[in-house]
Amino acid sequence: MFPTSRRRQSSLAALAISTSLALTACGGGGFEEDGSDEPASSGDGPATLQVLIASSGDAETKAVEDATAAWAEESGNEVEVVVANDIAQQLSQGFAGGNPPDVFYVDAGVFGDYAEAGNLYPYMDQMTDADDFYPNLVDSFTLDDQAYCAPKDFSTLALEINTAAWKKAGLTDADIPKTWEDLAAVAKKLTTPDQAGLVLGIGRDRVGAFLVQNGGFWVDGEAGEATATEPSNVEALEFVQGMLKDGSAVLAPDVDAGWGGEGFGTEKAAMTIEGNWIRGAMSNDYPDVDYTVAELPEGPAGKGTLLFTQCWGIAADSSDQDVAVDLVEALTTPEQQLANAKAFGVMPSRESAQADYVDQFPEDAPFIAGGDYGRGPVNLPGLGPVVADLDSQLEQLKTADVNDILASFQKNAEAELQ
């Protein structure tokens, strides 16, 4: 439980405090190695920008390095790309010391904290064709009606189906679930003594999709309020709980899996709900498992999925903000986003790139469709510990009192948001 005396300021203060580690320990390069508190500045000459990324691997790093190098050559500026060991720690140290990188990845889940602390430069209104970004993605980086930064790419959740198990159960393409009732029915048909019908990863980042499909969510980001105890959320969690109780669905730990993709790949479940990142895991770890992907079934309120996204943040302390905006423009063109898709499997955040992306990656059509109706994560400032506690409680969703889980989140969130 979180004491009601805690307020949002305590979370923001934590962001501003540097850890005792020296900046030189941060992933092979500090932000100002001479110890100066001044941000990198170009003066009247060409700018030298530092870009901090949390890379998924060599392919992503090379793609960013190539794109920034091309921009630097054309613009006459210079760019240093730094791959973070711990981006949250390194940004916290940079913000606290007044010398953050000029441009950096910002996850939607921590955006609100950074924005409210005054660490981000709001530049979205300067972007060319800003309305080309998926509105739901832009909402993930909006606080108090101010859109801050350009989404760089995104992922969504969809339904993965084991084709062999599907056929063995006598199901056809016509049976691909379109509603909650359909999902519950096929999960039962797919359940055997050795295989669950559906495996879910634990936590809000999976079951939260059902809340969206029922017209609810943990918070109302626009109003800045917790909405967990709304009846629609109770109904959504009770639906999932019902599948867990009748055995047609399991949580990943119940089948000795670390996440839904593992339970699906080891064929301990015939279906799972995961993002487009599952393709790499299936190809690398479970190449013999044939599967298909469908959009998530609609709930009583319609279609719904979850969005996972990052933006290109620009530091409020950067003295080269105009140049940094120009760099972000280059990094978020439809052409560059499609090149990134080929290089390391991300989906473009610009709507104008959707058709070309689907042409090139038709198997990802169910994932990218979610960009039109998905919901981003809880991004209100100060709620990090509260959502962590929610995830812990959701581990016991099968046997817990749904109302207790939601009431606990509501109470803790309200205390932080006061």
Q: What is the DSSP string of 175-216?
A: GS--BHHHHHHHHHHH-BTTBBSEEE-SSHHHHHHHHHHTT-
| 19 within some domain | yes
Mind giving me the DSSP string for 46-84? Answer: --EEEEEE--SSHHHHHHHHHHHHHHHHHHS-EEEEEE-
Residues 162 and 238 both lie in one domain = yes
CATH of the domain at 140: 3.40.190.10
Same domain, 12 and 121: yes
**Nearest to 147, CA basis, from 111, 177, 178:** 111
Residues 212 and 270 in one domain: yes
Counted domains in the chain? 2
What is the predicted pLDDT for the residue at 18? Answer: 33
- What integer pLDDT is reported at residue 165 of this predicted model? 98
Q: What is the pLDDT of residue 44?
A: 59
Helices 87-97 and 8-16 pack at an angle, to 10 degrees, of: 90
Contact, 377 vs 306, CB < 8 A? Answer: yes
Residue 261 carries which DSSP code? H
Q: Is residue 229 part of a domain?
A: yes
Asked if residue 315 and residue 219 are part of one domain, the reply reads: no
Alpha carbon distance 358, 227 (integer Å): 35
Are 283 and 391 in the same domain? yes
Burial label for 330, CB within 10 Å (0-12, 13-18, 19+), is middle
| One domain, residues 213 and 300 | yes
Whole-number Å distance between alpha carbons of 330 and 181: 45
Are both 177 and 301 inside the same structural domain?
Answer: yes
Domain contains 2? no
Euclidean distance between CA atoms 85 and 105, whole angstroms: 13
Residue 116 within any structural domain of the chain: yes
Question: Does residue 1 belong to any structural domain of this protein?
Answer: no
Domain membership of residue 130 (yes or no) is yes
Same domain, 38 and 112: yes
In a domain, 3, yes or no: no
Torsion sign, CA atoms 387, 246, 300, 171: positive
Domain limits for position 204: 156-306+381-417
Query: Taking the chain, what is the end-to-end CA distance rounded to the nearest angstrom?
Result: 16
* 241 located within any domain: yes
* 295 and 172 in a common domain: yes
Note whether 292 and 405 are same-domain residues. Answer: yes
Backbone phi and psi for residue 332, each to the nearest 5 degrees, phi listed first: -120, 15
Please name the helix (run of DSSP H) or strand (run of DSSP E) that holds residue 109, with its range, or none: helix 108-116
10-residue averages of pLDDT along the chain (418 residues) = 38 37 31 39 74 96 98 98 97 96 98 98 97 97 97 98 98 98 98 98 98 98 96 98 98 97 98 96 97 98 98 97 98 98 96 97 97 97 97 98 98 96
Least Cα distance to 306 among 209, 379, 380 occurs for 209
Tokens of 52: 């901090």
* 231 and 123, same domain (yes or no): no
- 30 plus 64 within the same structural domain: yes
